[in-house]
Amino acid sequence: MLRLGVIIGVIALIGTALSGLAAYRVHDQELAIDRIALARAIDVHASLVQDRLTERELLARVASGLFRAPSVIKANMLEPLRSSIYAFKTDFVVASWIARLRPDELPIAQAELRQAGFPNPTIRNYDDKPLDAATLTGPIDVLMDLEPRNADTLKLPGVALDRQPIVGPMLTRAMAEGKPVASDPTPLLRANGPIGIVLAAPVVPQGATAPAGFVTFSYEIGPLLLTNDDLSLFSVALKDPRNASDELVANDQGAVSGRTRGADAPAPSSTRTVTFGNHDWSLVYYAKSNSVRRAQQTAAIVGVIGLALTGIICGLFGYVAYNNLRLSREIQVRIGFERRLTAVIDELNHRVKNILAVIQSIVTRTLRHGSDIDVARELLIGRIHAMSNVVTLLSESQWQGVQLRGLFESRAIPHADRIAVTGPDITVSARAAQSLSLLFFELASHSDEGLSLVGKHPHITAKWDVTGEEPNAVFQFRWEEFNTSEATRRPDSDFGLILLDRVAPEALGGTSKRFFTEASYVYELTAPMETVVDITERDRTEQFSAPVHPSR
């Protein structure tokens, strides 16, 4: 048997080592595969975004090239371009024509806007305040036409944008560089509008050196840069060019909001740079799943499978040893069963002897010489009935204990309907239940002798509580009969006094006291909870009552 055990041990060690090695290799491979897949997905996304941006920038270049010798004062400059713009791409929020006007051209431009049907043709600043033409010293950039025309856009023409904080610097840069330029992120159409980017392409007439105006296209950042599949491996954010510590992110509905990255924020998985409107934009990618945790889980599964296979192999070898030892084990189980059966019988005999001893003491003390036979018979029947009730409750719980509240049932003690019982749910041990059942019966049986102080039956309260923390918790019980006195209450019998003052406290390892107040009779019992509950007795009973099954 020792040799067989050594062989099984060697097989188990080899199988465990191979399982650990396989799990380690799988962990590294899964980690590498996840990182490669994430990098490829990020590269594809960044490439698609760059292609999308290149197409939009090309649209701006084509639109600006379609102008030949524009009359910048007109309010329908986009009319010839509408079909071409919509045929190329239609995902812009608004396309517009911004003309560079001299101060003397402003009245003509205002008349054109009025004739075109715009509701507010007045030339004004970007904040809708009136513009004083007398203060102008050079050309200004005025929004003259836009597409589409709807309730949100019709009120915009006539606004001078050269001093607008975001668009103004963009137009100045586009005029200086002579090619399309993108603005910083800014709200579109209104102050609380969607966050977007404005792309401006300068329009230079033939034979001229300075732009006559600008064709602009406004795009939402969400669909332009941050669109991403919900099932993708990553989430994408745009690093805000206005603040290096801020990022712009889009939710499921495409609404863009900003967030500040703290020092304790997780580091991005990767960063890619795309170009749009002569501006570099940084896309920040965050992995949605933890590749390290996933690799660990996969490695754990592989390790468990390896250990399971090792266990199966070891089990096959162990089966031989099991067949050899089965007979001896069955004999040992039978011996153990007989020993336990003997212990159970001994325990049962012990408990029966205890119950008989208690009953003998009850009979002896109740039927002592000189006692009234009728009173003694009544007390004897009640006390034995109380013992019978607690034995019944213990049998129902397989001697695992009794709920303390169950000892106050009407079948166990007299006048139970006049006893107000309060206290937490406590399961007391079998020994404590027997003592407490007799104690409660003894208290209740002496609480109804004649009339009370006011000609009514006493009102009784029985309450208990547990104070302190384990293992020093203390059980405190208080019995109080209101509306009674030493003159109206039947005196306790000798057996009752012994039970109240000595038997019950000693059985619970505690102390007791009884006294009269001005209008009540009080009995108090204090004992440690470890004696009241007696876990050792409960565990021993559970062990005895557990069935024994022979090995198969």
Query: Scanning the structure block, which residue is given the tokens 């524009």?
Result: 70
CATH topology of domain 349-542: Heat Shock Protein 90 (3.30.565)
Query: Would strands 140-147 and 427-428 be described as parallel, antiparallel, or unpaired?
Result: unpaired
In 3D space, the residue among 405, 407, 408, 402 whose CA is nearest the CA of residue 428 turns out to be 402
In 3D space, the residue among 158, 82, 66, 179 whose CA is nearest the CA of residue 115 turns out to be 158
Q: How far is CA 435 from the centre of its chain?
A: 48
In 3D space, the residue among 410, 477, 418, 421 whose CA is nearest the CA of residue 447 turns out to be 418
Q: Where are the domains of the chain?
A: 1-289, 349-542
**pLDDT for the residue numbered 197:** 93
Query: How far is the C-alpha of 456 from the C-alpha of 506, rounded, in Å?
Result: 35
Write phi, then psi, for 519 (nearest 5 degrees).
-140, 20
CATH topology of domain 1-289: Beta-Lactamase (3.30.450)
DSSP 68: S
In 3D space, the residue among 429, 441, 421 whose CA is nearest the CA of residue 403 turns out to be 429
- Under the banding of pLDDT at 50, 70 and 90, the label for residue 152 is confident
Query: How far is the C-alpha of 224 from the C-alpha of 522, rounded, in Å?
Result: 85
Contact 493, 503 (CB under 8 A): no
DSSP secondary structure, 382-449, as one string: HHHHHHHHHHHHHHHTTTS-EEGGGGG-TTTSTTGGGEEEE----EE-HHHHHHHHHHHHHHHHTS-S
Task: Between 202 and 331, name the one with better pLDDT.
Answer: 202
Query: How far is the C-alpha of 402 from the C-alpha of 424, rounded, in Å?
Result: 13
- Residue 462 burial (CB count, 10 A): 24
Contact 464, 408 (CB under 8 A): no
Query: How far is the C-alpha of 64 from the C-alpha of 179, rounded, in Å?
Result: 10
The length of the chain in residues reads 552
Task: Between 430 and 467, name the one with better pLDDT.
Answer: 467
Q: Say yes or no to pLDDT of 477 above 90.
A: yes
Among 42-46, 110-114, 206-210, the minimum mean pLDDT is found in 206-210
Q: Say yes or no to pLDDT of 6 above 90.
A: no
Task: Between 274 and 3, name the one with better pLDDT.
Answer: 274
**pLDDT for the residue numbered 543:** 56
Write phi, then psi, for 525 (nearest 5 degrees).
-135, 130
Query: How far is the C-alpha of 495 from the C-alpha of 501, rounded, in Å?
Result: 10
DSSP secondary structure, 300-335, as one string: HHHHHHHHHHHHHHHHHHHHHHHHHHHHHHHHHHHH
**pLDDT for the residue numbered 441:** 82
Contact 200, 215 (CB under 8 A): yes
- Tell me the per-residue pLDDT of 241-263, one tens digit each, with 9 for 90 and over: 878 788 888 887 778 888 888 77
Query: How far is the C-alpha of 477 from the C-alpha of 463, rounded, in Å?
Result: 6
Query: How far is the C-alpha of 198 from the C-alpha of 60, rounded, in Å?
Result: 11
Contact 360, 43 (CB under 8 A): no
